[in-house]
Amino acid sequence: MAPGSTQTLLGRKIVLGVSGSIAAYKAVGLLRLLMREGADVSVVMTEAATRFVGPLTFEVLSRRPVATDLFAARQEMLHLTLPEWADAVVIAPATANQIAKYALGLADDLLSALVLNTSCPLILAPAMDGNMWDHPAVTAHREALRQRGVTVLEPEEGPLASGRVGKGRLPDDTVILSAIEQRLFPRLDWRGQRLLVSAGPTQEAIDPVRFISNRSSGKMGYALAQAARERGAEVTLVSGPTALTVPPGIHYVPVCTAEEMDKALTAHFAWSTVLIMAAAVADFRPAQASSTKLKKRKEALNKLDLEPTPDILERLSLRRTSQTLVGFAAETEAVLPQAKDKLVRKGLDLIVGNNVLAEGSGFGSDTNEAVLVDREGGVTELGLLPKRVLADRILDVISTLPCAIKRSAAAKKPPAAGNKN
């Protein structure tokens, strides 16, 4: 067994489709990871992908011929036989062009014809420029595919091949692997749980055009919501303003201020079995928001009276019946002692501490390095992980808390308000 491998894909057959993005070279690393996990991988490339990486590279590493041409493969009918052979079809990178073809049911090359014949789990790992990802056509196509049950991963943010910085980088190998595992072996260990999760920043008005807020992106809270949903939980996500897409199947309650977040969480608290407070709630708000825009006078800028916002978690902790309470401690120093202090002060079962100044951690980042502390004093250090993977680890730890699993039966039914996504 290769070092570090847990052979989770032993005996599983995967079609790895590679389409023509510069990120095609990263599919080589993904292929190696899938093989290390024990998978039998058959690679299919689009004509454009072969301009970026030679098929021979994939052929040598996968120890299988690489198919590229619908017509060259006509004898074996690969567009029919490969998806029948596979346990999962993974397209990484998936270009805007391929995503559009799948959404529309076009089949003018081997990969898209194969996708049209796929009935096993289909996972797309997109990579493209940020402007393309945000284009209404691409947005509509990925949403249509998600509605049909296709897993379309979110690209990562960061430097793009164009030189711009944006959302469009191929998701990390480990995120793709975890999505494959999720589809092949759906863990429904959170079935019966009702997760109430808060995410994102709050905005506290100074006047009608200005507000106080913070750098929270909401990524950690959304990842937790999605992970719990995929593991069978019912999920209500109360979120401050973010640029994120709400994952499917989640009861979404948008809020803006700390007060609105407090109201929404209080309204859903009795329904929940687990509360994860991942939001970065503003600690202070202007004591008196002006009803008209403040003029650009020196006095107005020199002084702003602030008052503390309610500590939502502390308040809910006093009202708890049987809920498991999880908080976050985003710190810039002495993470562990501060996390322990908050755990006790807020009456929590678990706290997730992280140093927001550490490389690759904190607000806006796609990764995070966290330390988990439970009320029995147990400490779990988790190395630098993509937030989606970290979310699963946090749920794993919550599941093992003595208070957690047995509580699901006690809580009440959800309130009717809110949008269903």
Instruction: Give the interface with ligand C5P as residue ranges (CB under 6 A).
Output: 258, 277, 279, 281, 283, 309-313, 327-329, 342
Minimum separation from the CB atom of position 110 to ligand C5P (A): 49
Residue of 282, 292, 394, 301 whose CA lies nearest to 349: 394
Minimum CB distance to ligand C5P smaller for 176 or for 395: 395
Q: Spot the catalytic one: 97, 131, 214, 302.
A: 214
**For the chain, how many residues are written?**
421
- Closest by CA to 325, choosing from 354, 353, 350, is 350
Closer residue to ligand C5P (CB): 176 or 329 = 329
In whole angstroms, what is the distance from residue 325 CA to residue 342 CA?
A: 12
Parallel/antiparallel/unpaired status of strands 156-159 and 165-169: antiparallel
Tell me if residue 421 is catalytic: no
Least separation in angstroms between residue 133's CB and ligand C5P is 29
Q: Are 47 and 79 in contact (CB under 8 A)?
A: no
Residue 265 beta carbon to ligand C5P: minimum distance, rounded to whole angstroms: 8
CA 383 – CA 416 distance, rounded (Å): 40
Tell me the pairing of strands 234-239 and 194-199. Answer: parallel
Closer residue to ligand C5P in complex, CB, 150/224: 224
Distance CA 228, CA 207 (A): 38
Q: Which is nearer to ligand C5P, 39 or 312 (CB)?
A: 312
Q: Based on CB atoms, which residue is closest to ligand C5P, 29 or 310?
A: 310
Q: Minimal distance in Å, beta carbon 352 to ligand C5P?
A: 8
Least Cα distance to 407 among 192, 249, 141 occurs for 192
Q: Mapping DSSP to helix (H, G, I), strand (E, B) and coil, where does residue 7 land? A: coil
Minimum distance, C-beta of residue 313 to ligand C5P, in the bound complex (Å) = 3
Q: How far is CA 312 from the centre of its chain?
A: 24
Pairing of strands 234-239, 251-254: parallel
CB of 290 to ligand C5P, least distance (A): 22
Residue of 231, 266, 261 whose CA lies nearest to 247: 231
Spell out the residues 6+ positions from residue 337 whose beta carbon is closer than 8 angstroms to its own: none
Cβ–Cβ under 8 Å, residues 198 and 213: no
Q: Name the residue nearer to ligand C5P (CB basis): 145 or 258.
A: 258
In angstroms, rounded to a whole number, what is the distance separating the alpha carbons of residues 407 and 324? 8
Residue pair 41/62 in contact (Cβ under 8 Å)? The answer is: yes
In the complex with ligand C5P, the residue whose CB is nearer, 145 or 281, is: 281
Q: What angle do CA 99, 248, 105 make, to 5 degrees?
A: 25
User: By the 8 A CB rule, do 268 and 238 touch?
Assistant: yes
Taking the complex as a whole, how short is the minimal distance between the CB of residue 205 and ligand C5P, in angstroms?
A: 16
Phi/psi for 264 (5° steps) reads -65, -40
Report the nearest approach of ligand C5P to the CB of residue 212 (Å): 13
How far apart CA 93 and CA 16 sit, in angstroms, is 10
d(CA 82, CA 131): 33
By C-beta, is 121 or 353 nearer to ligand C5P?
A: 353
- Residues with catalytic function: 214
